[in-house]
Structure 1
Amino acid sequence: MPAYRTARTHRPVADYDLRFDEHPVVRCPDCHWAQALHEHLHEGPYGLLYWHADHPDEAVDHLTALPDRLAVPRYIEWWASGHWLAIKDRRSEGPGRLLGTDELEIFQSVRADNTLERAVFANTQRRSVFPSTARTNIEDAAEGLFRTGLLRPAPGLRQSINS
C-alpha cells in the first residue's frame, strides 16, 4: 500500500441512497472499503465508520465478487449455539445475532480450510438435497455474510471470482 494512503485521512460515510440487497451501504470515498450495513447486527453505521477511520489498512471492498477462499475477520466473535450461529461484530455497538444453520456450517468450513466445501457437504447431508442445490444455498448465504463484512478474503490470497 502506498504511503500516501495510510497518511491520508479516511472519511467513511453511510450511503442510504446506495443499497445492496436492500441493505444501505457504508463506504470510504478515500479508499476501496465498502460493505452492506446489516441494520440489526450493526445497529446503525457509526461503529463501522469509526472503526474504518481507525483501521484503514484493513479495508476490503465487500461489494465485489465472493472470493474463492475466505477467512473470518479478527473483529468477529462467533460460536455455535445449538444448531445456530451466534455472532457479534466488535466493530459496532450491536448486541449480536443468532443466524441459521447454513451460516454456522459456513463458519465451521471457513475455519477448517478457508473454503465452503465442508459447508456444501454438510448442507447436502442435513437437507438431503443434491450437491448443486446445497452449493447454491451455501454460496448465497456466504455472499450475504461477505457483503456485511462478516467474512473476508483469506489473508495472502488474491480475491478472485468464484465460479
Structure 2
Amino acid sequence: MTAYRAAAPHRPVADYGRRFDGQPVVHCPDCHWAQALDKNLHEGPYGLIYWHRDHPDDAVDHLAALPNHLAIPAYVRWVAQGHWLAIEDQRSEGPGILFGTECLEIFQSVSADGGLERAVFAYTQQRCVFPSTARAGIEDAAVGLFRTGLLRPAPDLQ
C-alpha cells in the first residue's frame, strides 16, 4: 500500500473543513478535481479517493459553475432496488439511492441532448407550475447531481 501511494501521481484528500450543502468535499491538490461527498451515495471518501488515483486524467471540478451542456459519466449506473429504479456511483462502494422525478427528468433530458430544456418542460407539465419555477427546481436538482459527480460537463456537441 505504501509503494502504491508513493507511485501515485495525485494525492486526493477528504476536506472536512470545506463543505458543500453540508457535505464534505473531496479534492486533489495536484489537479482541479473536486466534488461534494454524498453520505448516502458514497459511504465515505475512500472509494472516490482511490478512483481518482487510478483515473487522474478524468479530473472534473464539480464545484465549478454548472456548464450549459451535461453528460452522464460512465461510472453512473441504474440499478433495481426492490420495485424501484435507483442510481449507483460505481466509483465507491455505496448502495444505489432513489431520486425524485425531477432527477429522472434531468437524466432523460441530458441523455437526449445534453441540456435541461426537456426536463424543464416535463417538470412544468407534470407539476402545472410556471416555467420559471420549473427551471429553478430543475437547475437546483441538476446542481446537486453535478456537485456529487453524477453529471459532468459534456464534450462539445458542435
Greater Cα offset, 70-79 or 140-149? 70-79
Distance, in Å, in 2 between the alignment partners of 1:114 and 1:142 is 12
- Aligned pairs (5 A) from 1:11-160: 11-78=11-78, 86-156=86-156
| Alpha-carbon displacement from aligned partner over 1:51-107 (angstroms, at most 9, x marks no partner) | 0000011000000000000000000002698xx751000000001100110000000
**SS, match of residue 98 in structure 2:** strand
Q: TM-score, normalised by structure 2?
A: 0.90
Look up the SS of the partner of 1:143 in the other structure.
Answer: helix
Structure 2: runs of 5 or more not aligned: 1-6
Could you tell me how far 1:8 is from its partner in structure 2? 7.0
Structure 1 letter corresponding to 2:97 = R
Structure 1 length-normalised TM: 0.87
Deviation by residue 1:114-161 (Cα, 9 ceiling, x = unmatched): 00000000000000000010000000000000000000000236xxxx
Partner of 1:17: helix, strand, or coil? Answer: strand
Residues 88 and 97, structure 1, Cα contact 8 Å, conserved in 2: yes
Number of residue pairs matched by the alignment: 151
Residue aligned with 1:26, SS: strand
State the alpha-carbon separation in 2 of the partners of residues 155 and 30 from structure 1.
Answer: 23
For the residues of structure 1 that align with 2:10 and 2:30, how far apart are their CA atoms? 6
Cα RMSD of the aligned pairs, angstroms, is 2.1
Runs of 4+ off more than 2 Å: 78-81
Identity among equivalent pairs (%): 74
